[in-house]
Amino acid sequence: MAVVIPDPVVRAEARLGLIAAGDEIRAARLRPRKAGALGLRVAGYRRDGIASLTGETGRSVERQLGRAGRKLSEARRSSAEGW
């Protein structure tokens, strides 16, 4: 079995992406369930994985992600307009 050593530049870029996503999530002022679901999605989890981690149904996670996405889009638009 080959040992894979992650590229530090790629890992750093991924971390910066997660930090930026976290900043956007905070700026959108999402409620904890929506922020948690979206944070897990940004971290690479799929709906079923998020449901398993949070104890919610897949459908509930799907709704939370949809609502979070809409709220995040609204926050981005407001930010772009200078609000």
67 within a domain of the structure (yes/no): yes
19 Cα distance to chain centroid: 10
Domain that holds residue 57: 32-83
26 within a domain of the structure (yes/no): no
| Local mean pLDDT, 10-residue blocks, the chain (83 residues) | 53 69 80 88 88 95 93 82 64
7 within a domain of the structure (yes/no): no
Q: How many domains does the chain have?
A: 1
83 within a domain of the structure (yes/no): yes
Q: What is the pLDDT of residue 8?
A: 57
9 within a domain of the structure (yes/no): no
12 within a domain of the structure (yes/no): no
- Its pTM stands at 0.70
23 within a domain of the structure (yes/no): no
Q: What is the pLDDT of residue 82?
A: 65
Q: What is the pLDDT of residue 4?
A: 47
Cα–Cα distance measured from residue 1 to residue 32, given in angstroms and rounded to the nearest whole number: 41
17 within a domain of the structure (yes/no): no
